[in-house]
Amino acid sequence: MATEYSFDVVSQYDAQELTNALDQARREVATRFDFKGTDPTLERRETSIVIEASTEDRARAVLQVLIEKAARRGLPAKLFKAGEPRTVGRGRGQIEVALNAGISDDLARSLVKKARGVSPRVQVRVQGDQLRVTSREKDALQAVIRVLR
């Protein structure tokens, strides 16, 4: 009886590490001299982070601090998809940063095409926001892994 091997392709992040990175960024911007008087805030929502400061430039600087702290905690910079800075009440700058988690439908389709192009013996199924690649041959799976990286 032949066994089937599989692996999953996912795009997730460690929520606790993100919380720690946000806390570290809040502490740093509260104590740094160049942020004095800018009253920066970092607010986490379901799938995004809202950064607000006295100007758009200061909001961009807070975003840079957040990305640096996240990188030190092992979170990739690709996790943060920053929107355009905008001016809100009293001339304050605000940036909404979306968190890239999960695999979108377009990306899933392109990954399925790549995987099937490598070996016709692999089966790829989309399961929500992840992909499952199965095959009876380990070599075919390893070739798909190399291509997807």
User: Where does the pLDDT of residue 106 fall: very low under 50, low under 70, confident under 90, or very high at 90 and above?
Assistant: confident
The mean pLDDT value of the chain amounts to 89
Q: How many CA atoms lie within 13 A of 39 on its CB side?
A: 5
Q: Is the pLDDT of residue 75 over 80?
A: yes
| pTM metric for this prediction | 0.76
CA nearest neighbour of 142 among 42, 1, 7, 50? 7
State how far Cα 56 lies from the chain centre: 23
- Across 6-26, average pLDDT: 91
The gap from C-alpha 25 to its chain's centroid, in whole angstroms, comes to: 17
Residue 43: pLDDT above 90?
A: yes
The reported pLDDT for the residue numbered 1 is 52
Residue with tokens 């590490």: 17
Q: How many other C-beta atoms lie within 10 A of the C-beta of residue 119?
A: 17
Confidence label for 29 from pLDDT (cuts 50, 70 and 90): very high
